[in-house]
Structures are given as structure tokens and as C-alpha cells.
Amino acid sequence: MIGKIFKTRTKKYPLPIAKDKQNKIISITNQKLNRPYVVLFSNEKVYFLSVKTVKKENIESTYIDKENVFIPKGIYDNNHFAAINTSTINVMDRKMFESLYEIDDKWNDYQLSVETYNRVMERLYINRDNLIYHEVDHFDLDNLKTIWKLNEESIENRKYCKQLIITYHHLEWNEDMVKFRDNPQLYYQKLEDKYQETWDELLTKTKQKIKADKNQKIDQEKQYSINDNEENNKQSNKPKNKFHM
């Protein structure tokens, strides 16, 4: 799934699934969402960037924004100048994301070059500490609204994505990966395997930390209880006032 563009939406959930760095919703037209570009994924989630076509009306602002990676020949090599924005990573449940797009449409699941992916990931690495994250929670079809998760979710997304971005940065200097760059299918497969390995390691460390924090809290509560009992015993053993009846 990584390094791929999706375009043609089904009519099941015709609602926006991305925001920009100003927290503004990116609107959809003709059942497409600025062609999300998947850069990272796990078994549960998809992490993607927004892509836009560069036109006369937006070319100046597109060039001013240093977080844009330019694709002069177009994402489909059709000479439609495009730009991938790397300031914001949008997140969705993987199954939900996959249900939004026509399975057999030629414009979906479209693999971009390794060179393009590398340029995007270089930019994400440079900006890794400043990336903005937005995650879809669910769709409110009665009111035709996309419901977004709370900002607390960004902390977890930032932690995992940052580690995967760093993983890729170091892999790019690894001869075992570089030698596959002329074979995109094999390259992305090797990369997915490495990402999964890193992801599993992160999950294991997270579970260990949660367990350690829980045990630490239990130990602290036990100590507080012991201290309280000792203080109560001291108070009860104090000599009583001689006028006490």
C-alpha cells in the first residue's frame, strides 16, 4: 500500500477525510479527495498525504509553501503538474480507508516511483518534529459530517510515525535497500517488511512501558497506604490530654 495514490471514491461515504496544517478540512469534488498518497501504514491504520494539481490560480502559493514536493510530470505521468504536501499526515482506520475506493479502478492503488517516495520521506524526516496529525474517527451520515479524533490521538500517531520515518532515513543509506531501487515492486515489499518489523518492536516496547507504569503506580499506592498506616499509628499512640474524659 505504501507509495501509492488513490483517487476514485465509492459513493458509500462521500465525505472529506483530510485536513491541512491550519486544521481546515480539505474538500472533495467528484468523489475524490485530492488523491491521498499513502506513505506509512500498519495492520490497523493508514497514514497519507494530500496531493493537489498545480494550476495558474495556485502555482504561486504552491511554490511559496516549502513543504510541497513537486511532481512536474504529474502523479500519473500525464503532464498534469502536481504537488504532494508534507506538512500534515492524515490518518484513518485501514479497513475504513480501503472501503472508500473503487477496487478495480485504474486510478487507485497506483504506485509512484521510488524516487518520488524518497523525496517525500526526506522532507518528512527534515520536518519530523513539526508534523501535524489529523485522524478520522467515523462518519456521521445523518448529518453528513466527518468526525475527527481528539488531539490526544496525535501523540500516539506522532510517536509511531516519527520512528518509521527515522527507520526509512537510515535504510536509504543501506546497500541492501539501495540495490532494489530499480525494482519498485521488490523495493516496496522489502520496505513494508522493515516497517512491520519496526512497528512490532514499537508495540512491544509500548506494552512493556504500560505494564511498567502500571506496576510503578501499584507500588506507589502500596507505599502511600503504608505511610498512612504508620502516621495513623503514631497519632493513636500519642499521650492523651489529662483533661480528656
Three-class SS of 160-226: HHHHHHHHHHHHCCCHHHHCCCCCHHHHHHHHHHHHHHHHHHHHHHHHHHHHHHHHHHHHHHHHHHH
Residue 129: all three cell numbers together: 518534529
The pLDDT of residue 107: 86
Tell me the C-alpha distance between 101 and 110, whole Å: 12
The pLDDT of residue 222: 67
The pLDDT of residue 115: 92
Q: How far lies 237's CA from each of 148, 227, 240, 245, in Å? A: 58, 16, 9, 17
Model's pTM, two decimal places? Answer: 0.80
The pLDDT of residue 51: 92
Sorted by sequence, the CB contacts under 8 Å of residue 94 that are 6+ apart come out as 41, 42, 43, 44, 45, 46
Produce one character per residue of 203-215: b if its CB has 16 or more CB atoms within 10 Å, e if not.
Answer: eeeeeeeeeeeee
Beta carbons of 41 and 47 less than 8 angstroms apart = yes
The pLDDT of residue 156: 83
The pLDDT of residue 2: 92
Which pLDDT tens digits describe the chain residue by residue (245 residues)?
899 999 888 888 889 999 999 999 988 876 666 689 999 988 889 999 999 888 888 889 888 999 999 998 888 888 889 999 999 999 999 999 999 998 888 888 899 999 999 999 999 999 999 999 999 999 998 998 999 998 777 788 888 899 999 999 988 777 778 788 888 889 999 898 888 888 888 878 766 756 666 666 666 766 666 666 666 666 666 665 554 44
